[in-house]
């Protein structure tokens, strides 16, 4: 789900994707094309739903995520920026532990950043930001 909600362009979720609904039966001859099962109202996966909501709200606040210029930042863990006019974000979909991300050209030194996933704040110094990641990192300018 992270890859889809952090992808450029328009995205479409099917009902239940945000709550870890199990796939239905697969037709004979195409095991990868499972049918849609009933909505899992009685067994919603709370962690998956919270994750989907955070990503969705972040996407809603930042049009650059869908329409901005893509800028590669790091390979392992994969990190990227999207920049469009006055909107810029940095995303690291799968990150663990202490990371130093090069943000020069996206955010200026002295800029206060907020991780929209954990609500932690960081400061850009010498073109980098040091973050403490626990899964997903979604950096945006912190509110003044």
Q: What is the pLDDT of residue 36?
A: 76
CA distances from 116 to 31, 43, 122, 125, 140 (A): 37, 27, 11, 19, 7
Q: What is the pLDDT of residue 112?
A: 98
Three-state secondary structure string covering 11-42: CCCCCCHHHCCCCCCCCCCCCCCCCCCCCCHH
Instruction: Find out whether 92 and 99 touch, Cβ atoms under 8 Å.
Output: yes
Whether the full predicted model's pTM is greater than 0.85, yes or no, is yes
**Which superfamily is assigned to 2-141 in CATH?**
Golgi alpha-mannosidase II (2.60.40.1180)
DSSP character string of 86-140: TEEEEEEEEEEEEEEEE-TTTS-TT-EEEETTT--EEE-BTTEEEEEEEEEEEEE
pLDDT tens-digit readout, 76-124: 999 999 999 999 999 999 999 999 999 999 999 999 999 999 999 999 9
Three-state secondary structure string covering 69-82: EEEEEECCCCEEEE
Task: Determine the 3-state secondary structure of 143 from DSSP.
Answer: coil
Sorted by where each begins, the domain ranges of the chain are: 2-141
| pLDDT for residue 35 is more than 80 | no
């Amino acid at each position: 789900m992270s890859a889809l909600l952090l992808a450029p362009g328009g995205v479409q979720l099917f009902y239940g994707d945000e709550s870890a609904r199990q796939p239905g039966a697969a037709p004979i001859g195409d095991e990868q094309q499972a049918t849609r099962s009933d909505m899992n109202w009685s067994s919603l996966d709370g962690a998956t739903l919270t994750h989907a909501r955070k990503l969705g709200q972040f996407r809603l606040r930042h049009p650059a995520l869908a329409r901005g210029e893509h800028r590669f930042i790091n390979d392992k863990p994969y990190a990227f920026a999207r920049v469009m006019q006055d909107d810029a974000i940095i995303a690291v979909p799968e990150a663990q532990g202490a990371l130093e991300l090069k943000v020069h050209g996206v955010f200026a030194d002295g800029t206060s950043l907020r991780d929209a996933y954990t609500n932690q704040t960081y400061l850009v110094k010498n073109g980098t930001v040091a973050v403490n990641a626990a899964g997903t990192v979604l950096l945006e300018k912190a509110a003044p």
